[in-house]
Amino acid sequence: MYDEDDLLPISALQHLAFCERQWALIHLEGAWAENRLTVEGHHLHDRAHRPETESRRDLRIARGLRLRSLRLGLSGIADVVEFHRIGNDSTAAGVSLSEVTGLWQPRPVEYKRGRPKLGPYDEIQLCAQALCLEEMLGISIPAGDLFYGEPRQRSEVVFSPDLREKTESLTARLHELTLSGKTPLARYEKKCDSCSLYELCLPKGLGRTHTVADYLFEAISQHEGKEP
């Protein structure tokens, strides 16, 4: 079990799943390439992260719900958690909600600007939210949804044993890398061409050095005729 002070952001998992160096540049070095997509993504998230609830007949919607898992050492904010009424005698797992009768099954929903990605980065982030909710509520959550802006579509994510295992092992790696405090070396791969940090990372020119600071030091030293 982790202490409150050692909790790491759930959002880091999607960066880590994509590339360990990208994760380090953002979360260890504080680098961030703000572009049109990330700005629009922030607006989408700002709206979803305002704490509020909404009620419909058999549905309750909680926005901006704080999440936490001491077992995994993760914390974050869920865009949306839907609670679907499942009735009193359903075999599905549900929780009681204040001021309404029956049992309600939670279902995390994450909003993403743009298209579904090639790898399961968003699925891992959503699964981490579900694992936090399961620990907080003491029930099992079978599935959630990812909502993409281009094209506007909602797709179900089943929290299979394989996805849970991937999410938990990536979380362990997240803690390991955070403790090490080291930025992995750049290594050019095909995915670099679609990376928002390409210009900062310079995967073809920065392969010998660990950090952007190292790279700048090396570049200045070479300019001045010195070895770094």
Interface residues toward ligand SF4, by CB under 6 A:
19, 21-22, 25, 186-187, 191-192, 195, 197-198, 201, 203
Residue 77 phi/psi, 5-degree rounding, is: -130, 130
Nearest-approach distance from CB 194 to ligand SF4, in angstroms? 8
CA distances from 118 to 17, 25, 115 (A): 12, 21, 9
Q: How many CB atoms lie under 10 A from the CB of residue 90?
A: 12
For ligand SF4, the closer CB: 21 or 68: 21
For ligand SF4, the closer CB: 21 or 107: 21
For ligand SF4, the closer CB: 13 or 131: 13
Q: Give the span between the Cα atoms of 102 and 175, in whole angstroms.
A: 39
Nearest-approach distance from CB 207 to ligand SF4, in angstroms? 9
Q: Using an 8 Å Cβ cutoff, are 104 and 85 in contact?
A: yes
- Cβ partners under 8 Å of residue 161, min gap 6: none
For ligand SF4, the closer CB: 30 or 161: 30
CA distances from 112 to 46, 76, 128, 148 (A): 12, 16, 16, 5
Nearest-approach distance from CB 192 to ligand SF4, in angstroms? 3
Nearest-approach distance from CB 24 to ligand SF4, in angstroms? 8
Q: β-strand 143-149 against 104-112: which pairing, if any?
A: parallel
For ligand SF4, the closer CB: 94 or 203: 203
Nearest-approach distance from CB 13 to ligand SF4, in angstroms? 15
For ligand SF4, the closer CB: 149 or 184: 184
Alpha carbons within 13 angstroms on the beta-carbon side of residue 129 total 29
Nearest-approach distance from CB 214 to ligand SF4, in angstroms? 14
